């Protein structure tokens, strides 16, 4: 986010926080935010659940319209403690970049699971986005499901700032850990040949072990189908799993590989499925 967007997001989050907590808690949170003191924010960050509780966020119709307009609709699924923690962090003074980094880095180093979830959720709302890239990439190595979800699902930061290697690791890890691939922001825009080849190898390994492949995998391969990938797709088509077959057919239909397109039309059922226009990635 640019600075104006961060300010607008901070204000929107604050409005939701205030409508979901008691008057006493609201006064406490506002005092911390107004101080913008890193020490106070750090201390409050840890204390938040005891003050706010952990209930799901409740939104008015107006708040829903506002967060959707800002591209923040996903916060509707957060709990109030997670939202409050992100709001506190977004209030930190952006002028002293070194102090800002040191404050949040210390929180990362000492974070328990829910604190880590909030910290990774806060990345899109923090100034100086370039300084959090290494921390985000390190988070992908986590084995904690909720932490990975905070990084991978409904988080615009990774696609905007991770380099190709780290991005590819994120996507592959998402398939490994069976995350909701459709919730990865920037999935299609960040597709690349190296990732397509890695995912094709991953699919072949799963088939060799007698396991199915997430159909969403093939949307990331579509633009990069070549002779090598086409041979793997043939293997998938011969497994006679209808869902996999249709996903592979859709990928081929979106490719520029004519031999693959010619081949797919030798499957009458797939030819019909593609022709009726009902097949799309949301259908998987």
Give residue 182's pLDDT.
Answer: 95
Give residue 76's pLDDT.
Answer: 95
Q: What does residue 56 show for φ and ψ, rounded to 5 degrees?
A: -60, 145
Q: How many residues does this entry show for the chain? A: 284
pTM of the predicted structure, to 2 decimals: 0.92
Q: How many CB atoms lie within 10 A of CB 69?
A: 11
Give the whole-angstrom CA distance, residue 18 versus residue 85: 13
Residue 221 predicted with pLDDT over 80: yes
Residue 241 predicted with pLDDT over 80: yes
Give residue 38's pLDDT.
Answer: 87
Mean pLDDT for 212-219 is 95
Q: How open is the CA angle 92-155-195, to the nearest 5 degrees?
A: 130
- Cβ neighbourhood burial of 267 (10 Å; 0-12, 13-18, 19+): middle
User: pLDDT confidence of 209, banded at 50, 70, 90?
Assistant: very high
Give the whole-angstrom CA distance, residue 72 versus residue 65: 10
The label of the residue with tokens 């604050």 reads 14
Q: Are 51 and 21 in contact (CB under 8 A)?
A: yes
Give the whole-angstrom CA distance, residue 263 versus residue 241: 17
Tell me the per-residue pLDDT of 170-199, one tens digit each, with 9 for 90 and over: 999 999 999 999 999 999 999 999 999 999
Tell me the per-residue pLDDT of 223-236, one tens digit each, with 9 for 90 and over: 999 999 999 999 99
Give the whole-angstrom CA distance, residue 278 versus residue 283: 8
Give the whole-angstrom CA distance, residue 265 versus residue 49: 57
Give residue 2's pLDDT.
Answer: 55
Domain map (residue ranges) of the chain: 191-284
Q: Which of 16-25, 110-119, 139-148, 262-271 has the lowest mean pLDDT?
A: 262-271
Residue 205 predicted with pLDDT over 70: yes
User: pLDDT confidence of 55, banded at 50, 70, 90?
Assistant: very high
Q: How far is CA 156 from CA 8, 125, 150, 151, 248, in A?
A: 16, 10, 11, 9, 27
Give the whole-angstrom CA distance, residue 59 versus residue 191: 34
Mean pLDDT for 25-52 is 92
Residue 3 predicted with pLDDT over 70: no
Can you read off the two tokens belonging to residue 242? 């209808």
């Amino acid at each position: 986010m640019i600075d104006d967007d961060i300010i607008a997001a901070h204000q929107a989050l604050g409005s939701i926080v205030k409508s979901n907590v008691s008057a006493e808690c609201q006064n406490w949170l506002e005092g911390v935010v107004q101080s913008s003191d890193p020490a106070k924010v750090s201390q409050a960050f840890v204390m938040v659940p005891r003050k706010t509780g952990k209930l799901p966020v409740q939104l008015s119709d107006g708040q829903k319209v506002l967060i959707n307009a800002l591209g923040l609709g996903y916060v509707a699924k957060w709990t109030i403690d997670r939202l409050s923690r992100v709001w506190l962090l977004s209030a930190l003074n952006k002028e002293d970049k070194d102090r800002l980094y040191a404050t949040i880095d210390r929180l990362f180093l000492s974070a328990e699971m829910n604190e880590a979830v909030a910290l990774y959720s806060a990345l899109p709302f923090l100034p100086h986005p370039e300084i959090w890239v290494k921390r985000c990439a390190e988070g992908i190595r986590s084995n904690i499901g909720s932490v990975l979800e905070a990084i991978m699902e409904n988080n615009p930061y990774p696609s905007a700032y991770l380099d190709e290697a780290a991005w590819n690791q994120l996507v592959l890890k998402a398939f490994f850990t069976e995350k909701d691939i459709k919730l990865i922001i920037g999935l299609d825009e960040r597709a690349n040949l190296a990732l397509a080849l890695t995912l094709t190898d991953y699919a072949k390994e799963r088939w060799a072990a007698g396991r199915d492949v997430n159909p969403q995998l093939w949307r990331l391969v579509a633009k990069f189908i070549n002779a090598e990938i086409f041979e793997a797709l043939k293997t998938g088509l011969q497994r006679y799993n209808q869902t996999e077959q249709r996903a592979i057919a859709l990928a081929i239909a979106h490719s520029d590989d004519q031999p693959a397109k010619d081949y797919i039309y030798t499957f009458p059922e797939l030819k019909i499925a593609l022709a009726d226009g009902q097949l799309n990635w949301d259908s998987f």
